[in-house]
Structure 1
Amino acid sequence: VKPLESEDLIKEYEENIGYTFPNEYKEVVKNYNGARPEFKEFKSKQGRRKKARVFEFLFSFNKYDKWSIWGLNNWKGDMRDWNIDGKIENMVGFAGDPFGNLICFDKTNGHIVFVDHETLNIEPVADSFTEFINSLRKS
């Protein structure tokens, strides 16, 4: 866990991206900013199949931490190659896996999705952050 420098950083980030995070997520960030969960395994949906995935770490809201949410969702800046066709513009990555992929909020509906960094395929995971957290299993 990386102590959150200020709870105002969450609000500032929400204003910056034009999206309000669910309260459950904000509470997790306040208590576990940048943490690595004990229960890591979840499933994404690839058509009719489900694929096991790993939640490695939660992004930090501290602006200058290595894995800061501020830099890891910069689709028009450093990460523009991820968004060449605008496909992931409505995604807000909040966590990563061990392989460089993102676990994101879909700003259009609040659902949780998995974004494969090699193919940019977007795979549904859960209808809400709470459902996502409740689905995590020990790997």
Structure 2
Amino acid sequence: MNTAIIWDRSDGTTSRESIAKVEKKLGVSFPDEYITIVMNYNGSCPTPCLYKIYGKETGNAYKKIFGYLIPYGLQDRPNFLEEYTVLKKMLPKNVIPFADDPGGDYICFDFRSSDEPKIVYADMEVAVHVDNCTRKERLSGEVEKMQEEALYDVADSFAEFIDNLF
């Protein structure tokens, strides 16, 4: 994993137990590299902080900015579970945000096909809130298809994602 990264504006540390509570509640196991970073740099942002996503139709590369890790247990900011509770109705099941960007979008773990999550970018302007959909859309699976449109593949693993920051 990229050891040249500097984690800025850390809100302190968090315990392994705090992370384990979230993992248990969500039924997932976060990557070890992520856990190590969060335990030491809770709520911080990396330098370098740029990464790329690719347009679905054009394949063109777009630069995005890694904002802040969603924090655990900080009193003055929404914590991980509070943030997830708000966002889960806009994302497919088992897509879990772990960081934001300055534009209000999110970087997420994608646990849908594996216990070793891929990293995806969630464009919240495109994301569809399940409560804004019709009953027919919810029952037909159309909501999931619409939510999928908001996701862009970023990396096959958290370690690869961190290694590719520039």
Q: TM-score range by the shorter chain?
A: 0.7 to 0.9
Residues 2 and 32, structure 1, Cα contact 8 Å, conserved in 2: yes
Identity %: 32
1:132 aligns with 2:161: yes
One-letter amino acid of the structure 2 residue matched with residue 19 of structure 1: V
Moved beyond 6 Å, runs of 4+? none
Residues 14 and 40, structure 2, Cα contact 8 Å, conserved in 1: no
Residues 4 and 62, structure 1, Cα contact 8 Å, conserved in 2: no
Structure 2 counterpart of 1:55: 66
Q: How many residues align?
A: 130
CA distance in 2, matches of 1:115, 1:3: 26
Equivalent positions of 1:1-139 (< 5 A) are: 1-47=10-56, 48-62=59-73, 64-74=75-85, 78-79=86-87, 82-83=89-90, 87-108=91-112, 109=114, 110-120=117-127, 121-137=150-166
One-letter amino acid of the structure 1 residue matched with residue 107 of structure 2: I
One-letter amino acid of the structure 2 residue matched with residue 101 of structure 1: D
Query: How many angstroms does 1:50 deviate by?
Result: 1.9
Q: Deviations over 1:30-80 (max 9, x none)?
A: 111101211110001222222110001111111534142111111xxx446
Residues 113 and 122, structure 1, Cα contact 8 Å, conserved in 2: yes
More helix by share: 2
SS in 2 for 1:58: coil
- Normalising by structure 2, report the TM-score: 0.73
CA distance in 2, matches of 1:113, 1:92: 9
SS in 2 for 1:64: coil
One-letter amino acid of the structure 1 residue matched with residue 103 of structure 2: F
Query: How many angstroms does 1:24 deviate by?
Result: 0.6
User: Structure 1 residues 70, 125: closer, same or farther in 2, change over 3 A?
Assistant: same
User: Structure 1 residues 34, 44: closer, same or farther in 2, change over 3 A?
Assistant: same
